[in-house]
Chain A
Amino acid sequence: AQKVTQAQTEISVVEKEDVTLDCVYETRDTTYYLFWYKQPPSGELVFLIRRNSFDEQNEISGRYSWNFQKSTSSFNFTITASQVVDSAVYFCALSEAYTGTASKLTFGTGTRLQVTL
């Protein structure tokens, strides 16, 4: 069975601090996909990144960066120079390869990030 663990329930930082959100996953599949989603107070889940199991290259997008390490089954997310607008709940999710009718997501329980001035 697939499982995603986000051990940090809530993180509070002051604006401009760097912050890392941890994600650890479990799967028996050799091919799988990892995602991060952001859920601001408005409620909509916003897609941030997808990474497949064969691509361990780290990715950077502006202030966001992701570190994928298969050896530790982790897919961590770092926000550099955090801003108040980054305040949200962040979900890490895992999907097996497409097997027919859908790519089902297994979500972690989310990390609530609070960025204050």
Chain B
Amino acid sequence: DAMVIQNPRYQVTQFGKPVTLSCSQTLNHNVMYWYQQKSSQAPKLLFHYYDKDFNNEADTPDNFQSRRPNTSFCFLDIRSPGLGDAAMYLCATSSLLSQGAHEQYFGPGTRLTVT
């Protein structure tokens, strides 16, 4: 089945230790998004890729970086995780081939714990 896959589902890292979360998709969508969702809050967009073009949200901390080596994969790197970065990280994709607004398809998320 076509889908958005995130690995791992649960990640524990130490304060200050770099961590990478991964996302892959079989939908062949040209846009990939990374969201941060803290407990009982709405998802917050960190950045997105339109093809290979990276688009950062103005309030995304520098601590968060992303890579998209090809259409299928996208990575979220947290250079020096702090306790405040503990959250669910959601990857999403959408296809923007025409005018309009297109629904985003989400992966199951990676729950990050920082100790």
Contact = CB atoms under 8 A, between A and B. Distances in A.
Bind each other: yes
Interface of A: 32-33, 35, 37, 42-47, 50, 52, 91, 95-98, 100-105, 107-110
Nearest to B107: A44
Interface of B: 31, 33, 40-43, 45, 48, 50, 53, 55, 88, 90, 92, 94, 96, 98-109, 111
Given A43-B111, A91-B42, A107-B42, A35 B103 contact: yes
List 7 A-B pairs, minimum CB-CB distance, nearest first.
A107-B42, A33-B101, A101-B50, A45-B106, A103-B101, A95-B101, A43-B109
Contacts of B99: 97-98
Contacts of A97: 99-101
Contacts of B107: 44
